[in-house]
Amino acid sequence: MISLAPATAMGLAFLIVLLDTLKVRGWPVRLAFLTGAVLPGLVLLLSDPVEVVGGWDRRAGIEVAFTPLNAPFLVGEGVLFLFVALYAVSYFREDGRYAKVLSLLLLMHAGLMGAFVARDLFNFYIYSEIASVSAFALVALPGKEARRAAFKYLIVSLLASYLFVFAVGIIYMETGYLNVALIAENAVESRELSVALGIALSALLLKAGIFPLHSWLPDAHSMAPTPVSAMLSGALVKAPAYGMVLLISSLPSGEALRTALLAVAVASLFFGVAMALLQKNAKRLLAYHTVSQMGYVLLGIASLNFLGAAYYAMAHSIFKGGLFLGVGSLAGERKELGTFGYRGDHFLSISIIALSLAIGGVSPLVGAYGKGLLYENLDGLWKLAVPAGSVGTLASFTKLNAHLAAKRAGKIPLRLKVPVFGLALAAIAGGVYLNPHPNPKDTLYLALAVALFLLLRRAGLLGIKGAEKGGEIGEEINRLVAGLVAFVVLLSLIQGL
């Protein structure tokens, strides 16, 4: 029954298109959409942990699973999509493309679920592409600038997809299998597999928006409609992370390669925080925190702490999705910090403060548990990246909340506030359930973060308008492609050492 979960969401997406074609509007469309947000999760809960579609032998069939390793990815995506769905039915109500937008969101949901339950590389690729193609169209909805961001995202993502499927072909040629368990049983260290792993990891690093292959992400995530931004940042970038888990758990990977990935993770973590501190655009600030937070996920993958990476990915889905919905609700068409705020709106102010503490890893909120798992499995100086990153992240969100507290909130419909509050409650409840014990060190991290914020503000280093804005789109794409090629060569060579 596991395979029915994405199939259910996909079928309901096509039903919405059919209803729209037949000129059926209103509640039937909303009912089909919300059913697609809830029903697939129930199907997963009623399924066996592992199954091969059609009852075939693993060697000939398609294996899917709902296990402790991929469950956090699925739970994070499912919880986020439920609240995004509640938000989207109101947010897009006046849009003439209402049914089409809801069907694309359901297709993204179906693609992500399919990717997360996949236990073979080819079906992981197919479902990831379904989610990505939906995202390209959704990012382009607002207008000219958004279409430009969507085009850049489309070109570089498709190139990464071609490279990934090429690498999968090499893996199949060398091992005879696409199923990750069978690949692990049959993989023998070779130059071909080293090259395939380097190519595939480079492609997935770009799709995950990890520095320095991140430059498509700030524009796409900041210019998309608010519920789409929440899904892109909270869920879509987790699919390539799960793909990295599949690859590294099934193929031989050397110590040199894992050390290189750890270095990339730390660089992404601190680069994202630094760029977020410079932003005046609120959604770009949140987008750069995705670059940073995916560095944490990569820390877990590179240190073979797949469960830690999974739980932190789940936490990020909840708090980052909530932050995009909350800030997007307050901002409306405005994006510059200082032009909108949450003062006087207790519902949104409490929610955003709670979500800000969660992304900073403050216990007992949901981010603290994942960061604790990551910290425990790191050695030597690598451990310092986790608390240092938390201080930088909290400093950045001190900046965000200082701006939001300075301005009064406008009139925001309750139906847009409830999903934000729901995700804040999920961040609190999830953290208390996983680890209810507060960490005394969090007080120190908060104090350091506030001190860092005040120091940077006094030095005039906060808020550079247009920080890291690109030039011509062709030049941006060329630079990103050159970076991707360099990464392919570098990781292939390192893996061959």
- Residue 470: the pLDDT is 54
Phi, psi angles (nearest 5°) of residue 105: -60, -40
Work out the angle between the directed axes of helices 441-458 and 385-406 (0-180°, nearest 10). 60
> How far is it, in rounded angstroms, from Cα 348 to Cα 75?
24
User: What 3-state DSSP class applies to 28?
Assistant: helix
Question: What is the distance, to the nearest Å, from the Cα of residue 427 to the centroid of all Cα atoms in its chain?
Answer: 16
- Residue 309: the pLDDT is 96
Binned at pLDDT 50, 70 and 90, residue 472 comes out as confident
Q: Give yes or no for a contact between 324 and 84, defined as CB atoms under 8 angstroms apart.
A: no
CA distance readout (Å), 40 to 18, 128, 203, 241: 20, 17, 29, 22
- Residue 95: the pLDDT is 76
- Residue 242: the pLDDT is 97
- Residue 187: the pLDDT is 84
- Residue 487: the pLDDT is 87
- Residue 469: the pLDDT is 53
| pLDDT tens string 415-445 | 999 999 999 999 999 999 998 888 899 999 9
- Residue 290: the pLDDT is 96
Percentage of the chain modeled with pLDDT above 70: 98
- Residue 332: the pLDDT is 81
**Mean pLDDT, residues 55-78 taken together:** 90
Binned at pLDDT 50, 70 and 90, residue 463 comes out as low
| pLDDT tens string 189-247 | 888 899 999 999 999 999 999 999 998 999 999 999 999 999 999 999 999 999 999 99
Amino acid at 178: L
Q: What residues have CB less than 8 Å from 60, skipping those under 6 apart?
A: none
| pLDDT tens string 108-142 | 999 999 999 999 999 999 999 999 999 999 999 88
Q: Give yes or no for a contact between 202 and 194, defined as CB atoms under 8 angstroms apart.
A: no
**Mean pLDDT, residues 6-22 taken together:** 92
Instruction: Answer yes or no: is pLDDT of 294 > 80.
Output: yes
Nearest Cα neighbor of 469 from 176, 222, 154 is 222
Instruction: Answer yes or no: is pLDDT of 468 > 60.
Output: no
- Residue 305: the pLDDT is 94
Instruction: Answer yes or no: is pLDDT of 464 > 80.
Output: no
Percentage of the chain modeled with pLDDT above 90: 73
- Residue 47: the pLDDT is 83
- Least confident range from 62-76, 264-278, 282-296, 474-488: namely 474-488
> What is the maximum alpha-carbon separation in the chain?
66
- Residue 65: the pLDDT is 92
Peptide bond into 212 cis (omega under 30): yes
Q: Give yes or no for a contact between 277 and 289, defined as CB atoms under 8 angstroms apart.
A: no
Q: Give yes or no for a contact between 273 and 390, defined as CB atoms under 8 angstroms apart.
A: no
Instruction: Answer yes or no: is pLDDT of 51 > 60.
Output: yes
Angle at 252 between CA 246 and CA 253, to 5 degrees: 85
| pLDDT tens string 312-327 | 999 999 999 999 999 9
Binned at pLDDT 50, 70 and 90, residue 293 comes out as very high
CA distance readout (Å), 319 to 86, 136, 364, 367, 488: 16, 23, 13, 8, 32
Mean pLDDT of the chain: 91
> How far is it, in rounded angstroms, from Cα 88 to Cα 179?
36
Binned at pLDDT 50, 70 and 90, residue 3 comes out as confident
Angle at 410 between CA 149 and CA 276, to 5 degrees: 40
| pLDDT tens string 99-108 | 899 999 999 9
| pLDDT tens string 343-381 | 988 999 999 999 999 999 999 999 999 999 999 999 989
**Mean pLDDT, residues 155-178 taken together:** 94
Binned at pLDDT 50, 70 and 90, residue 465 comes out as low
- Residue 471: the pLDDT is 62
| pLDDT tens string 392-418 | 999 999 999 999 999 988 888 999 999
- Residue 229: the pLDDT is 95
Q: What string of DSSP letters covers 155-208?
A: HHHHHHHHHHHHHHHHHHHHHS--BHHHHHHH----HHHHHHHHHHHHHHHHHT
- Residue 437: the pLDDT is 87
